[in-house]
Amino acid sequence: MSSDFEGYEQDFAVLTAEITSKIARVPRLPPDEKKQMVANVEKQLEEAKELLEQMDLEVREIPPQSRGMYNNRMRSYKQEMGKLETDFKRSRIAYSDEVRNELLGDDGNSSENQLIKLREERAHLLDNTERLERSSRRLEAGYQIAVETEQIGQEMLENLSHDREKIQRARERLRETDSNLGKSSRILTGMLRRIIQNRILLVILGIIVVITILMAITFSVRRH
């Protein structure tokens, strides 16, 4: 999995370097070339987003205990992506200003004031857009943390469930062992009782035999 992630990383680095170079060239190009370059950059930005999505999917397949480093790298790449989009918007605004200058020319203060007003409005919109993007990134980061926390919680619950099953099985084995030990103890006790009884019988029989022999000897002696 890490090899796939590193491959996506390399593609992302090459692609973002190309995008950065093209964004810097946009304001200096003639109008026709600018339009073509803008379309090209938009396409490459979409490709970069797709790479980020693939990388994000790869990171989600990593075990939670090893995911921290990859999450930090993903946050860095997403921040870089946001900066590229912001720079591209600014470059397009500069491009739009130059086109309007070519169309309007220097026709007096009214055109100049209109251009100044348009620039201020666009700058205000750009600031609002950047705020929205920052909020969106924070929400996405919060959502990612929530997802990771949920996954860790689920894994912990699964581990606890497995541990509980192991403990229950161990208890059942102990109960079976205790029951078997009780049976064995009763069997051994019975065997010891039989052995003792047999020995007592043997002793009694021995005594009887000895007494019988002594009595036989005594009767024999008396007859003679």
Which one has a higher pLDDT value, 110 or 218? 218
Read off the pLDDT of residues 35-62 as tens digits, 9 standing for 90 and up: 888 999 999 999 999 999 999 898 888 8
What gap in Å lies between CA 184 and CA 222, rounded to an integer? 57
For residue 192, pLDDT over 50 is answered with: yes
What gap in Å lies between CA 59 and CA 73, rounded to an integer? 10
What gap in Å lies between CA 77 and CA 48, rounded to an integer? 10
For residue 102, pLDDT over 70 is answered with: no
Which one has a higher pLDDT value, 149 or 70? 70
49, 17 in Cβ contact below 8 A?
A: no
Residue where the block lists tokens 């999450």:
71
Q: What mean pLDDT do residues 197-220 have?
A: 89
State the amino acid at position 160 in one-letter form. L
Q: Average pLDDT of the chain?
A: 78
Instruction: Please give the distance of CA 107 from its chain centroid, rounded to a whole number.
Output: 62
Residue 140's nearest CA partner among 219, 217, 49 is 49
Which one has a higher pLDDT value, 32 or 95? 32
Alpha-helical runs (H) found in 26-108:
31-60, 68-104
Q: What mean pLDDT do residues 194-213 have?
A: 90
Backbone angles phi, psi at 88, to 5 degrees: -65, -40
Instruction: Please give the distance of CA 105 from its chain centroid, rounded to a whole number.
Output: 59
Q: What mean pLDDT do residues 10-30 have?
A: 89
Q: What mean pLDDT do residues 71-84 have?
A: 90
Predicted local distance difference test score (pLDDT) of residue 108: 43
27, 98 in Cβ contact below 8 A?
A: yes
Q: What mean pLDDT do residues 27-35 have?
A: 84
Structure tokens at 82: 């946001």
Q: What mean pLDDT do residues 156-181 have?
A: 80
What gap in Å lies between CA 172 and CA 190, rounded to an integer? 27
Non-local (6+) Cβ contacts of 16 within 8 A are: 48, 80, 81, 84
Structure tokens at 203: 């002793």
26, 37 in Cβ contact below 8 A?
A: yes
Which one has a higher pLDDT value, 125 or 46? 46
For residue 216, pLDDT over 80 is answered with: yes
Structure tokens at 130: 């950047």
For residue 109, pLDDT over 60 is answered with: no
State the amino acid at position 196 in one-letter form. I
pTM, full prediction: 0.44
Proportion of the chain above pLDDT 70, given as a percent: 71
**Nearest-5° Cα angle at 195, 191 to 198:** 135
What gap in Å lies between CA 91 and CA 87, rounded to an integer? 6
For residue 63, pLDDT over 80 is answered with: yes
Pick left, alpha or beta for residue 29 (phi over 0 → left; psi -120 to 50 → alpha; otherwise beta).
Answer: beta
Q: What mean pLDDT do residues 72-101 have?
A: 78
